Amino acid sequence: MSKRAHPPEGSKSAEEIFLAVGHALSWWEAAEDAMMDLFHRLRGDQEPLAFETYVASPRAIRGRMLKSALGTCGSRLTAEEVARVRSAMVALDKLAPTRNEIAHGHCSNWTSQEDGVVVMSGFYLLPALSEGGWMRRSFRYAHTAASINAFTERVRNHRWSIVEVGITLLQRDNEAYDRLPPGANHAAQLILAVGRGHLTVLDAAMNLRHVHVGADAPTADDGSAEP
């Protein structure tokens, strides 16, 4: 494995590093939230226990669950949209090690020389002090505010790919719901309520006795519904 090159010029202040770290970790969590939101749209209403499992699972398991949901979503997403989400997930997986470096690094004002030449100078996000002990730290990485901000932009771009697909899915579901005949949308809500555990099957069945489905369905308040 080749030695990782470090930027010779560090950031001007620790505050630049701190601000960049905060942005990076916040946008990383925003990307995780975007994937969770998409999983909820695909599975949450129909399988609430699956969503609870997703939330409680480590990242690798969540990724497999979302990929499985994408593979069984049918016509709700196009093949291009599924491929776009999968591509963003792969890219975020590749960025995960850098995220961990940023989350667990230590900000230091560091200067080092090689053969009398300064090769590093400024503020860097370096491995934690516990890695080998002070002055024996292995500089597996040395991030500056600029390199951290570049990471953040990549995360934001991949997150947006997932968010856009989620927005499209929401719009498509709403349009399908609006096309339901009178009464059918209420029946669909009852089915979802049963799936979420908010209603028993018997309660839903009793409620459905008063639902008329079709173009000739009476309105809810015209007094024509059968007892």
Does one domain contain both 63 and 150?
yes
Question: Which pTM was predicted?
Answer: 0.77
The percent of the chain in helix, strand and coil, each rounded to the nearest 5, is 60, 10, 30
Q: Binning pLDDT at 50, 70 and 90, where does residue 32 land?
A: very high
Domain membership flag for residue 186: yes
Does one domain contain both 148 and 188?
no
Does one domain contain both 30 and 141?
yes
Higher pLDDT, 88 or 220: 88
Does one domain contain both 125 and 42?
yes
Does one domain contain both 209 and 126?
no
Does one domain contain both 19 and 113?
yes
Does one domain contain both 202 and 128?
no
Domain membership flag for residue 222: yes
Does one domain contain both 19 and 65?
yes
Does one domain contain both 117 and 86?
yes
Does one domain contain both 43 and 100?
yes
The residues with which 118 forms a beta bridge, in sequence order, are: 113
Does one domain contain both 61 and 146?
yes
Domain membership flag for residue 87: yes
Does one domain contain both 153 and 64?
yes
Higher pLDDT, 115 or 166: 166
**Helix, strand, or coil (residue 109):** strand
Q: Is the pLDDT of residue 28 over 60?
A: yes
Range of weakest confidence among 51-60, 151-160, 176-185:
176-185
Domain membership flag for residue 169: yes
Domain membership flag for residue 5: no
Asked if residue 62 lies in contact with residue 93, where contact means CB atoms within 8 angstroms, the answer is: no
pLDDT in tens, 68-113: 999 998 889 999 999 999 999 999 999 999 999 999 999 999 998 8
Q: Is the pLDDT of residue 10 over 80?
A: yes
* CA-closest candidate to residue 143, choices 126, 121, 119, 118: 126
Six-digit token string for 83: 């491929």
Domain membership flag for residue 3: no
Question: Looking at residue 226, what is its pLDDT?
Answer: 43
**Helix, strand, or coil (residue 39):** helix
Asked if residue 85 lies in contact with residue 38, where contact means CB atoms within 8 angstroms, the answer is: yes
Asked if residue 126 lies in contact with residue 141, where contact means CB atoms within 8 angstroms, the answer is: yes
Domain membership flag for residue 224: yes
- Rounded to 10 deg, the angle between the 201-208 and 184-195 helix axes is 170
Question: How many alpha carbons lie under 13 Å from residue 78 in its C-beta half-sphere?
Answer: 7
What is the percent of the chain where pLDDT is above 90? 56
Six-digit token string for 1: 């494995």
Domain membership flag for residue 59: yes
Domain extent at residue 108? 14-178
Total of domains in the chain: 2
Neighbours of 157 (CB within 10 A): 12
Whole-angstrom distance, CA of residue 85 vs CA of residue 98: 20
